[in-house]
Amino acid sequence: MSLKFIKRIPTADEIIEQIPLPKHIKDIKEKRDSDIRDIFEDKDDRFILIIGPCSADNEDSVCEYIEKLAGVQEKVKDSIIIIPRIYTNKPRTTGEGYKGMAHQPDPSKKPDLFEGIKAIRKMHLRSLCEFYMPAADEMLYPENYTYLSDVLGYIAIGARSVENQQHRLTVSGVDTPVGMKNPTSGDLSVMLNSIIAAQQGHTFNYNGWEIETTGNPLTHAILRGAVDPYGRNIPNYHYEDLIRIANEYEKLQLLNPSIIVDTNHANSMKCYAEQPRIAREVLMSRKYDTLLKKMIKGLMIESYLLEGKQGIGENIYGKSITDACLGWESTEKLIYYVAENI
């Protein structure tokens, strides 16, 4: 047998008992959750920015970044709700490379999933307890969701996971808004089918239990661009792309039709510095067309303390070790621009 059993991972109940969510913070989170839900349900016309590092590799630098976001959030609170990215699981195209803090709480050391699960919960809790900001994370492994189910403000399903049955079914039992990215192929029908599936109730096997779900009406689309068979990036944030997906979306008559536009990845041709320009173009398209203004609820932006990226082992504080990100100065300017132009 090729499987080597190293050690038992504690259950979510065990971890939550060790690292609980304080009651007074729970009340704050419920208010923030309600505000975010209202935007997706068209009860609040504020705009959402899901913004932060490509991967959350260091608790102190991530929380220093979130502290800066919290200061800006107070200034733009009437027009924008900011959801910080704390992405603790990272998909790897070839299986090689840093897989996120859930695997390696210290990127320079060997994987330790037991310590990783505790580390990611502590970091999400710190964002909530110190800055009152429930964060976004990617559901790369559906079984890991339960460790963070009480602290997350937003969940993304990645381009490589969106067609996976277990992801779709798990999302159908989640109360948090969940964005389904279009797959790397760019096939929008895959993303829309995922939304249809997740908005329905299902019965299935989850973490050793037969469970029943009622569907998640806050499941929606994230546009992140595509990659053609020759490896070339194909954006899908231009007006023609946006109006086409909005019309297709509307025909399906799904609950709370909403779109988030990812300004990095294939949309930026993996050129992180293009993100402000892309954000400006999306905002112009949104102003131009009433359907887009109604349906485009926000942007997803990759940003950190320092711009660019570094290799593991360089140990530059606040600089991404996965995809390159905007630096803080550019980020702050972009947030204020969005607030003035939505």
Flag whether 102 is in a domain: yes
pLDDT at 1 (0 to 100): 63
Cα–Cα nearest to 120, from 146, 95, 96: 146
Flag whether 4 is in a domain: no
Flag whether 7 is in a domain: no
Q: Sign of dihedral through CA atoms 69, 37, 200, 226?
A: negative
Rounded Cα gap, residues 40 and 155, in angstroms? 14
Rounded Cα gap, residues 322 and 92, in angstroms? 10
Rounded Cα gap, residues 198 and 202, in angstroms? 9
CATH of the domain at 251: 3.20.20.70
Contact 89, 100 (CB under 8 A): yes
- Per the structure, the complete domain to which residue 54 belongs is given by 12-341
Lookup: tokens for 179: 């964005």
pLDDT at 171 (0 to 100): 98
Flag whether 5 is in a domain: no
Work out how many domains the chain is built from and give that number.
1
- The CA-to-CA distance between both ends of the chain, in Å, stands at 57
Flag whether 3 is in a domain: no
Rounded Cα gap, residues 3 and 72, in angstroms? 48
Lookup: tokens for 243: 């109006």
Flag whether 2 is in a domain: no
Flag whether 81 is in a domain: yes
Flag whether 190 is in a domain: yes
Lookup: tokens for 97: 């490379």
- Under DSSP, the state recorded for 103 is T
Q: What is the pLDDT along the chain (342 residues), one digit of tens a residue?
A: 688 888 898 999 999 999 999 999 999 999 999 999 999 999 999 999 999 999 999 999 999 999 999 999 999 999 999 999 999 998 877 878 889 999 999 998 999 999 999 999 999 999 999 999 999 999 999 999 999 999 999 999 999 999 999 999 999 999 999 999 999 999 999 999 999 999 999 999 998 899 999 999 999 999 999 999 999 999 999 999 999 999 999 999 999 999 999 999 999 999 999 999 999 999 999 999 999 999 999 999 999 999 999 998 999 999 999 999 999 999 999 999 999 999
Angle, alpha carbons 70-85-200 (nearest 5°): 120
pLDDT at 4 (0 to 100): 86
